[in-house]
Each structure stands twice: as structure tokens, then as C-alpha cells.
Amino acid sequence: MNRDNSVLIVEDELITANSISGLLEEEGFFVVGVVDDSSEAFLFFDGDKEFPKTVLCDINIKGELNGIELAKQLKSKYGCEIIFLTAYADNKTLYDAFGAEPVMYIVKPFTDKQLLSALHMATYRIMKALDDDNGKIEIILTKREREIIELVMQGFTSRQIAAQLFISPQTVKTHRRSMLQRNNMHSFSQLVYQLHK
């Protein structure tokens, strides 16, 4: 299966990494792995396996390369989209990080919303880069489903959406599943991409 929404998390604070991993999986992203070392990150780009498409990268990591160098290599060799996630906010680090052309540079501590909207942006770019078909697929959605899509794109979690629409988180998930099935989409990102193409 083609995973446009696959994410590799490179973060040396494993509690942070695992909480992000849980959040992303709950929001429908496919987390291929969590590593805290630059050399371990390259293991995911070996052999016949599908490469992760987005790399969520801390700057201060273990191993030979720092996060910025790692991100530059992954971007140029494998075309990954980069999101930096770091507590550094000084100008020098920022300028260095620009070299990797990241989708977003998020300063810790971050909110779920900042993280999710950055990931939606990255996946949108990936879908656009892979898309060689100009044909538009017609998407059928209810009014409620459109509301939910808007909120998801803004970076809200299913739970936050549920609270805002006064429905249960379970119902939000049901809506999300059913719109994918009806339109024959394999991921939420694909649905959003086709909708806005």
C-alpha cells in the first residue's frame, strides 16, 4: 500500500517522541518508527522497504550528524519533507535550518495543533509531488463531513473536534472512516488533496 502519510520521528527525548507517535497515529498518520540517533534514521531508508515520506526531526540528536545535517541528507537523497521540532530558537540555528528547506520549524514546547497542521501541510506537498494525473476525482461529502475536514486541516485533534461540534470522539472517527470508504480513498491526506487540487 502506498503510504503518503508515513512519518519518521527523530527525537532524543523518548517521552516526547512517544507522545507524538501516539497523537499522530490517533489522527490517522502512519508512524514508521521513532529513533534518537542519526545513524538509526538511515536504517529506514535501506533496501526495498517503502521510505518514510515525512521526517519529524529534532535538531539536538544522538549520533554523528545533528538534526539539520540529517534532514538535509534525507531531503536530497530521498526527497523527504522535513519538519523541525526543537527547543532552539536562536537565529543561527534558524538560519542553518533554513538550509534544509523545512515545511515548518516548530519551537518546543509545541501545541498539538501546530504539529498536526505542519504534518497536513507536508503530506499535501508529498501528494502534489507524486501526482502525475491532472484528472479531478469527484468527491462526495456531507455538510458535517466538510466541517470535520476543515477542522482537521486546521490541526485540531478528533477529540477537540468532537468537543466543538458537541458530538463524541467516536462519532468523529466514524465520519472520517466513512468519507474515506465512500470516496475510495486510502488516507485522509489523499482525500484532502483531491478535494483541494
Q: Which of 32, 151, 179, 192 binds other proteins (CB under 8 A)?
A: 151
Q: Which is nearer to other proteins, 47 or 109 (CB)?
A: 109
Q: Which of 36, 69, 96, 112 binds other proteins (CB under 8 A)?
A: 112
Q: Does 146 bind other proteins (CB under 8 A)?
A: no
Residue by residue, DSSP assigns 93-146 as: HHHHHHTT--SEEEESS--HHHHHHHHHHHHHHHHHHH----PPPP----HHHH
Q: Which of 7, 8, 9, 20 binds other proteins (CB under 8 A)?
A: 20
Q: Among 11-19, 39-47, 67-75, 122-130, which window interacts with other proteins (CB under 8 A)?
A: 11-19
Q: What SS3 state is found at 10?
A: strand
65-77 in b/e form (b: 16+ CB < 10 A) is bbbbbbbbbbbee
Whose CA is closest to 24, among 196, 187, 143?
187
Would you tell me which residues interact with other proteins (CB under 8 A)?
A: 13, 15-16, 18-20, 22-23, 26, 60, 87-90, 107-113, 151, 156, 159-161, 163-164
